[in-house]
Amino acid sequence: MIRQSLKYRKTITVIGFLCLLLLVYLLLILKRDINDKVTSHQRLSKKEERIFESEPKREKHVKLAKMELDKNIHSTIKELQDAKARIEHLEKKIAILEGRIPEKYPDVKYLGYKERKRILVTGGAGFVGSHLVDVLMTQGHEVIVVDNFFTGRKRNVEHWFGHRNFEMIHHDIVNPLYIEADEIYHLASPASPPHYMQNPVKTIKTNTVGTINMLGLARRVGAKILIASTSEVYGDPMVHPQPESYWGHVNPIGPRACYDEGKRVAETLAYSYAKQENVSVRVARIFNTYGPRMHVSDGRVVSNFIMQALQNLTITVYGNGKQTRSFCYVSDLVDGLLSLMASSYTLPVNLGNPVEHTIEEFAMIIKNLVPGCRSTVATGAAVEDDPQRRRPDIAVAEANLRWSPKVTLKDGLQRTIDYFREELSRTTFYNNQTYMDINVKPHN
């Protein structure tokens, strides 16, 4: 019994000794680990090591901690500076983008989804197109403008940029276009003689291939399509005033042919698609139209004469000035286009103002409307194939659309002169371009 208890005590002592040894061993491992962590964390630079070696231990630690802190502060300051520069850069970008978005859009009516139409306006960044877009937008429709900016400008529609009902597509309609629409106003085509004569092949392609594409689109989606035709389909007319029933007098190979014949083919295409493919078409034969947003250097008579009068330059009448034109203010034309689209009348309709003036008279009207104008009126060589008389017979529009122009020439010109005066103040120069090489001589 005594021997057994002695043996038991010995075993306990041995086990206790072994436990002590294990404890010491564990403590040693733990200490080495801590040392390793401290050295790897502090990774001393050579300069720091030197300090470490040369100074008392506590001071050394304080210095090292300070250095570490300085390093951290320095990198934080750098990060803050980088962030500040990035924020400034983004702020500038936002300011530019905000500058492009109008602070307030013109008032737009709310239309329920049943009344709201999706309307495509080709050439919507041009003179007539942009005014039409304004009315369609304020009526509350969704408007898609398609334009290649050949003669149009983003500026004409920029007040709608960003509006949820507005979309702008930079596209040349000579290429196919696959979108959805309920109605199409097909206005894309240069309209001023110097513009369409500048690239006659493109003018023909736009009015033929481009019109086929728009008719193809109308056919695919079942949209109603209005084609912007022109009084030029009557050429240099032998009938006066011109009714829709007149077939015209056009030189097929003259300088105006690319436009005149292009529009005649566009009309033919419209009625072929109507007959063969059941496309619902409207054809507006538009006579000379004027108003704000005409391009200052588009070479048409209204822009040329007003710009010349505002700068006291010679007013350049081409030929003897006895040729006539009838001028329609743009808001009247837009009303006519909307009425035609809404009507069930499918044959061509003249839209224009029947008040007729000779170009010579027109020069004097403009001169007298610009206060203090010192311009002289001069005549020059006549333009080839220039139509000599033009006045719309608007009986069809009056009877079927209940439409006739409202704005007088004086009021319309006054608004247009104000617009051109504003345009002049925006530009530092105006190149007094006339579109033909004309030898201008003083008027007798």
Q: Which does 188 bind (CB under 5 to 8 A by kind): ligand UDP, ligand NAD, none?
A: ligand NAD
Q: Is 192 or 375 the residue whose CB approaches ligand NAD more closely?
A: 192
The set of residues, in sequence order, having a beta carbon less than 8 Å from that of 88 and lying 6+ positions away, is: none
Distance CA 348, CA 285 (A): 7
Nearer to ligand UDP, 217 or 333 (CB): 217
Cβ-proximal residues to 165 (8 Å cutoff; 6+ apart), any chain: 108, 137, 140, 141, 142, 143
385 binds ligand UDP (CB under 6 A): no
Q: Which of residues 149-188 bind ligand NAD (CB under 6 A)?
A: 149-152, 172-174, 187-188
Q: Does 176 bind ligand UDP (CB under 6 A)?
A: yes
- Of the pair 140, 216, the CB lying nearest ligand UDP is at 216
Q: Does 392 bind ligand UDP (CB under 6 A)?
A: no
By CB under 6 A, residue 123 contacts ligand NAD: yes
Binding partner at 125 among ligand UDP, ligand NAD, none, C-beta below 5 to 8 Å by kind: ligand NAD
Site for ligand NAD in 209-228 (CB under 6 A): 210, 228
Q: Please, what is the minimum distance in Å from the beta carbon of residue 342 to ligand NAD?
A: 19
Q: How far is the CB of 335 from ligand UDP (least distance, A)?
A: 21
Q: Kindly indicate which of the ranges 121-129, 211-219, 243-251, 355-363 contains the residues binding ligand NAD, using the contact rule CB under 6 A.
A: 121-129
Helix-strand-coil percent breakdown of the chain, rounded to 5?
50, 15, 35
Alpha-helical regions (H) of 43-106: 46-54, 57-100
What is the rounded distance in angstroms from the CA atom of residue 80 to the CA atom of residue 33? Answer: 37
The Cα 259–Cα 211 span in angstroms is: 13
Q: For residue 302, what are its two tokens? A: 């209204």
Does residue 127 belong to the site contacting ligand NAD (CB under 6 A)?
A: yes
Taking CB under 6 A as the binding criterion, the range among 81-89, 92-100, 176-184, 241-249 that sits at the site for ligand UDP is: 176-184
Could you give the CA distance from residue 271 to residue 263 in angstroms, rounded to a whole number? 13
| Residues within window 286-305 making contact with ligand UDP, judged by CB under 6 A | 288, 300-301, 304
Report 253-312 residues binding ligand NAD (CB under 6 A).
Answer: 286, 288-289
Q: How far is the CB of 77 from ligand NAD (least distance, A)?
A: 53
Among 119, 142, 148, 423, binds ligand NAD (CB under 6 A): 148
Q: Give which of 364, 215, 206, 390 is closest to 289, Cα–Cα.
A: 390
φ, ψ for residue 214 (rounded to 5)?
-70, -35
- CA 297 – CA 308 distance, rounded (Å): 11
Cα-Cα-Cα-Cα dihedral of 14, 16, 18, 23, to 10°? Answer: -170
Q: Which two tokens stand for residue 102?
A: 């109008």
DSSP string for residues in 255-322: TTHHHHHHHHHHHHHHHHHHHHH---EEEEEE--EE-TT--TTS--HHHHHHHHHHTTPPEEEEBTS-
CA-to-CA distance for 307 and 70, rounded, in angstroms?
69
List 172, 356, 385, 386, residue binding ligand UDP (CB under 6 A) = 386
Q: Which of residues 355-374 bind ligand UDP (CB under 6 A)?
A: 359
379 within 8 A of 321, measured Cβ to Cβ: yes
Q: Which residues 6+ apart lie within 8 Å of 254 measured at CB?
A: 384, 385
Stretch that binds ligand NAD, among 123-131, 244-252, 354-362, 431-439 (CB under 6 A): 123-131
CB atoms within 10 A of CB 378: 18
Q: Interaction with ligand UDP in 178-197: which residues (CB under 6 A)?
A: 178, 192-193
The catalytically annotated residue of 259, 290, 318, 329 is 259
Judged by beta carbon distances under 5 to 8 A according to partner kind, the member of ligand UDP, ligand NAD, none in contact with residue 383 is ligand UDP
325 binds, among ligand NAD, ligand UDP, none (CB under 5 to 8 A by kind): ligand UDP
Our CB check for ligand UDP shows the closer of 91 and 277 to be: 277
- For ligand UDP, the closer of residues 301 and 337 by Cβ is 301
Cis preceding linkage at 237, omega within 30: no
Q: Which is nearer to ligand UDP, 219 or 240 (by Cβ)?
A: 219
- 144 is an interface residue for ligand NAD by CB under 6 A: no
213 interface partner picked from ligand NAD, ligand UDP, none, CB below 5 to 8 A per type: ligand UDP
259 is catalytic: yes
Q: Which residues contact 153 (CB under 8 A, 6 or more apart)?
A: 125, 295
Q: Does 125 bind ligand NAD (CB under 6 A)?
A: yes
Residue numbers of the site for ligand NAD (CB under 6 A)? 122-123, 125-129, 147-152, 172-174, 187-191, 206, 210, 228, 230, 286, 288-289
Query: Which residues carry out catalysis?
Result: 259
Residue numbers of the site for ligand UDP (CB under 6 A)? 176-178, 192-193, 212-213, 216-217, 219-220, 288, 300-301, 304, 316-318, 323, 325, 359, 383, 386, 434
